[in-house]
Structure 1
Amino acid sequence: MQVTLLGTGDTTGTPTPDCDCDTCEEARSRGVERSRFSVHVRNERTGEALLIDASPDFRHQFLTHEVGLPDEAVISHIHFDHLDGLGNAYRLFDDLPVHAASEVDPLTGESVAGTVRSKYDYLDRVTVRDHAPLEPFETCGFEVTLVPVEHPPLLCYGVAVEDPETGAKLSLTGDTNYDVPEVSREVLADADLLLADGIVPAHLCEHHPLGGDHHDEEGVPRTFGTKHMTREGALALADELDAAETRLVHLAHYYPVEEAFEEPLAVDGEQYEL
């Protein structure tokens, strides 16, 4: 299993357009990016590739990184920075099967799969396949499971990808706060590589209108506001899940420059063989 991090940033990315903060300037100086979130997973046994989340930066990511177009895709939730890259299916694919959860969101009255289907009904190249959360399905020679996480107010899912022949396992928390359900933690556990949402360091919670939540025994918040984990929360979850290796993703340019490029914060283009 070859995993390529196409996009490791949050909704504005790093560098953020028209931003001259120290972190964005340092990213430009280093020649690195954190574009909107997306992960490419290639099955080296079958030659197939799975895309997890379709970033609005789709075209740029596939021009920048030496990976082939995906054979199929998984969408974790309906926020634009994870979904709107599907518009690139036009004239690039004869057919792109898109896997998403079938659970109906009380807020929208649609499932993630249903929203993808209705939003991209003009693209006959997108074929939506509905899946119940926590029920494994097969795609690109992998066993994939969508697991509920906490990203209020919308339903959102983490993803576990396992090669049934080699045992290699990739887990993604998806966009979530620290309060990941226990049943989902069990599915995500024991990964060779964990990609965990760690949007900002915990000390920045003091600048959020809602502060932080899910404090540890020393009072450090593991959730930033309500929707995302802090760096400390993501690392605590990784420790609980016993991940062999962890990379923090969905990172904001609000990280202070002296912290923004430290381990284990990811940047676009990182590649892993599992």
Structure 2
Amino acid sequence: MRVTLLGTGDTTGTPTPGCECATCQAAVDRDVERTRFSIHVENEATGESLLVDTSPDVRYQLLRDEVALPDAIVITHIHFDHLDGLGNAYRLFESLPVYAANETDPTTGESVAETIDRKYDYLDRIDVCPQPPLEPFETCGFTVTLLPVEHPPFLCYGLTIKDETGAKLSITGDTNFAIPDATRDQLADPDLLLADAIVPARLCEHHPLGGRHENDAGVPRTVGTKHMTMEGALSLAEELNAARTRLVHISHFPMPEEAFGEHAAVDGERYVL
């Protein structure tokens, strides 16, 4: 499989509009960016492509990185920076399956699949395909499994994507460090791990909710309640025995040396697994 990181940023992206911080300026100087989250996965054996999440920036991303239009989409959760680009399906597709979890969210009273179906009922060319978490399904020649993670207050899912060669991509989804054991077991031993890592642990003290899930050295692996710190994501990668790890969903709050460090992904990176 060929993996293209279309969007590796958080809700505002980097550079953030109107921001003159050192990290946003460094992104401009380096000619790199982090738009909102989307991942393109091509099955070279079948010629099909799968898109994970539909960033509000997805039209631009598809053009910029010159990847094929997807043959199917997987949506991890209903936050706008992962879903609202789905409106771009209008007039681009004759038919497009959209896979999402069928588990009812107690906060919304709907599953992710039901929210998509309701919100985009005007898109008669998409076909919402509800899927039970932790049960594999087939699309684009891949075996895909949606995996529950922790991103309160809404239900959210990571996923694994495997091809016929045995190559495995694991995506944590938006999550704190308290990922359920059943999900950790499924995420383990990937050829490539894309791990949510919004800020370094040192910034937890500035968050109104601080940080939790400290390691033995007292370093927070969760910031607030919703996301992992960079240290937490790398700790998870070690636990999962990831062959390669790229940190995604990074904000513009880290300093440039952190934001563009060894493991920090930027848009347009490509990997062949």
One-letter code aligned to 2:77? H
Q: Give the Cα–Cα distance (whole angstroms) in 1 for the partners of residues 177 and 5 of structure 2.
A: 22
The secondary structure found in structure 2 opposite 1:252 is coil
Q: Give the Cα–Cα distance (whole angstroms) in 2 for the partners of residues 260 and 170 of structure 1.
A: 23
Task: Map 1:195-274 onto structure 2 (within 5 A).
Answer: 195-274=194-273
Task: Map 1:159-170 onto structure 2 (within 5 A).
Answer: 159-163=159-163, 165-170=164-169
The secondary structure found in structure 2 opposite 1:151 is coil
Q: Any idea what the Cα deviations from partners look like across 1:191-241, whole Å, max 9, x if unmatched? A: 000000000000000100111000001100000000000000000001000
Instruction: State the 1:256 CA deviation.
Output: 0.8
Instruction: State the 1:257 CA deviation.
Output: 1.6
In structure 2, what is the equivalent of residue 89 of structure 1?
89
In structure 1, what is the equivalent of residue 59 of structure 2?
59
Q: Any idea what the Cα deviations from partners look like across 1:88-112, whole Å, max 9, x if unmatched? A: 0001111110000000000000000
The secondary structure found in structure 2 opposite 1:215 is coil
Q: Give the Cα–Cα distance (whole angstroms) in 1 for the partners of residues 212 and 257 of structure 2.
A: 25
Q: Give the Cα–Cα distance (whole angstroms) in 2 for the partners of residues 145 and 169 of structure 1.
A: 11
In structure 1, what is the equivalent of residue 17 of structure 2?
17
Q: Give the Cα–Cα distance (whole angstroms) in 1 for the partners of residues 62 and 144 of structure 2.
A: 23
Q: Give the Cα–Cα distance (whole angstroms) in 2 for the partners of residues 232 and 16 of structure 1.
A: 23
In structure 2, what is the equivalent of residue 187 of structure 1?
186
The secondary structure found in structure 2 opposite 1:248 is strand
One-letter code aligned to 1:235? L
One-letter code aligned to 2:138? E
The secondary structure found in structure 2 opposite 1:226 is coil
The secondary structure found in structure 1 opposite 2:84 is helix
Indicate the RMSD between aligned Cα atoms, in angstroms: 0.5
Instruction: State the 1:66 CA deviation.
Output: 1.7
In structure 2, what is the equivalent of residue 122 of structure 1?
122
The secondary structure found in structure 2 opposite 1:59 is helix
In structure 2, what is the equivalent of residue 74 of structure 1?
74
In structure 2, what is the equivalent of residue 148 of structure 1?
148
One-letter code aligned to 2:159? V
Instruction: State the 1:258 CA deviation.
Output: 2.3
Q: Does 1:107 align with 2:83?
A: no
Instruction: State the 1:170 CA deviation.
Output: 0.2
Q: Give the Cα–Cα distance (whole angstroms) in 1 for the partners of residues 2 and 203 of structure 2.
A: 34
Regions of 4+ moved over 6 Å: none
One-letter code aligned to 1:33? E
Equivalent residue pairs, number: 273
Which deviates the most, 251-260 or 232-241?
251-260
Query: Identity across aligned pairs (percent)?
Result: 70
One-letter code aligned to 1:217? D
Q: Give the Cα–Cα distance (whole angstroms) in 2 for the partners of residues 29 and 64 of structure 1.
A: 19
Q: Any idea what the Cα deviations from partners look like across 1:6-45, whole Å, max 9, x if unmatched? A: 0000000000001000100110111101000000000000
One-letter code aligned to 2:50? L
Q: Any idea what the Cα deviations from partners look like across 1:152-180, whole Å, max 9, x if unmatched? A: 000000010001x2000000000000000
The secondary structure found in structure 1 opposite 2:256 is coil
In structure 2, what is the equivalent of residue 175 of structure 1?
174
